Amino acid sequence: MSEKMPENQTECAISGEPDRTRRRLFLGAVGGTAMASLGGFHIAELALAKSDSEAVSNLARWGLLIDSAKCATDCDACVSGCNTEHNLEDMGRPETDAQWIRKLDLSDQQTGHVSSLPMMCQHCESPPCVDVCPTGASFKRDDGIVMVDKHTCIGCRYCVMACPYKARSFIHETLSNQKSYSPRGKGTVESCNLCVHRIDEDRQPACVEACNTDGKGAMIFGDLNDMDSDISIASSSKPSRQIREDLGLNTGVRYQNL
C-alpha cells in the first residue's frame, strides 16, 4: 500500500485531474488518527505489557528458539530450573515422575557427532493433544500456548498417547506443597505451559532464565509474530528446524544447528 501510493500521486499530477488520492490520503489520515484515539488503549497494549484484566490475543504467538550448538551435553540448568519453578518433586519412580522438560542427546550414527537439546511441549499450531481430548481440557490459548485446564481434565491420558514429543506427564501421587501460581494435582495430565504465569507478568519462562544464568544461553524466548523480537531476528538470520516437521504441526519451539 505504501509503495503504490506515490505512483498514483504521480499519475494524477500528470493527468491534471483533481488529486483525489491526496484527498483520500488526508481522509485516511484523519480516520486513522480517529481510530488510533478510539482504540488507543489497544495500540498501547500491543507495545506494552498486557493488563491483568485483559484477555490474551492471537496477535502474539509465543515460542522458543534453541541453539543446539550452545546446549551442552552435561548441562541440565533448564530442567532443574523448571523443576524448581513448578515444584516437580522426585517421587522415587523415574518412569512416572512428572517431567515437563528433559534433555536429549542425539548422535549422528554416520559421524558420531552428538547434539544436545532440551525437549518439552513444542506448542504446536495444530496440536494433536487438543484434537484427541474428550473434554476440551487440553487446549491452545490464543497466544499459542498449549496447556491443560486441570479443572476439566479427567485423566484419560489420550493426549499423552497422541503427543509425538512425549511431552505430557500424568500425576499418579497425591501432591502437596504446590506453588500458588502452578496448581498441580493427582489424576490430571500436565506439561510445559511455557510458564504461562510468568508470561502474563511479562517475564521469561523459568527454563530460559535458568539457561541464561546457569547454562549456556542457548534458549531465546519471544513473540514469533513480532518481526522485531529477538527470537524473530535470530530465526531469520540462521536456519532453524522443527522436530518431526514431517507431521506439519508448525511447532512454536524451533531448533538451530541441529
Partner 1 sequence: MARFLETRSIKLMWLKAWIFCAMLSVTLITVLVTSTSTHGDSSIETTTKRTNGVSQCVEPTDIMRRDHMNFLLHQRDKTVREGIRTKQHSLKGCVDCHVKNNDQGEFIPVNAPEQFCAACHTYTSVKIDCFECHATTPDVALSENKADTDQLAKSLSQSLEGTQSVHEANDQSEIGVWSFSHILADASSSTLD
Would you tell me which residues interact with partner 1 (CB under 8 A)?
Answer: 50, 52-56, 139, 141-143, 147, 149-151, 174-175, 177-181, 183-186, 188, 196, 200
Determine the Cα–Cα distance for residues 35 and 33; give it in Å rounded to an integer.
Answer: 5
Which C-beta is closer to partner 1: that of 164 or that of 185? 185
Determine the Cα–Cα distance for residues 77 and 173; give it in Å rounded to an integer.
Answer: 26
Which C-beta is closer to partner 1: that of 117 or that of 121? 121
The residue assigned the cell 488503549 is: 41
Which C-beta is closer to partner 1: that of 138 or that of 242? 138
Find the shortest distance in angstroms from Cβ 52 to partner 1. Answer: 5
The residues pairing with 189 across neighbouring beta strands, listed in sequence order, are 170
Which C-beta is closer to partner 1: that of 100 or that of 255? 100
Show Cβ contacts of residue 146 under 8 Å, excluding neighbours closer than 6 positions.
121, 123, 124, 127, 129, 130, 138, 139, 140, 191, 193
Find the shortest distance in angstroms from Cβ 28 to partner 1. Answer: 29
Determine the Cα–Cα distance for residues 188 and 156; give it in Å rounded to an integer.
Answer: 8
Which C-beta is closer to partner 1: that of 23 or that of 186? 186
DSSP string, 37-102: HHTHHHHHHHHSPPPTTSPP-TT--EEEEEETTTS-TT--HHHHHHHHHHT----S-TTTS--SEE
Rg, the chain, Cα only: 23
Find the shortest distance in angstroms from Cβ 195 to partner 1. Answer: 13
Find the shortest distance in angstroms from Cβ 186 to partner 1. Answer: 7
Find the shortest distance in angstroms from Cβ 222 to partner 1. Answer: 17
Determine the Cα–Cα distance for residues 211 and 231; give it in Å rounded to an integer.
Answer: 15
Which C-beta is closer to partner 1: that of 86 or that of 254? 86
Given CA atoms 122, 128, 130, 135 in this order, what sign does their dihedral have? negative
Find the shortest distance in angstroms from Cβ 187 to partner 1. Answer: 8
Which C-beta is closer to partner 1: that of 179 or that of 238? 179
Find the shortest distance in angstroms from Cβ 197 to partner 1. Answer: 8
Determine the Cα–Cα distance for residues 148 and 23; give it in Å rounded to an integer.
Answer: 52
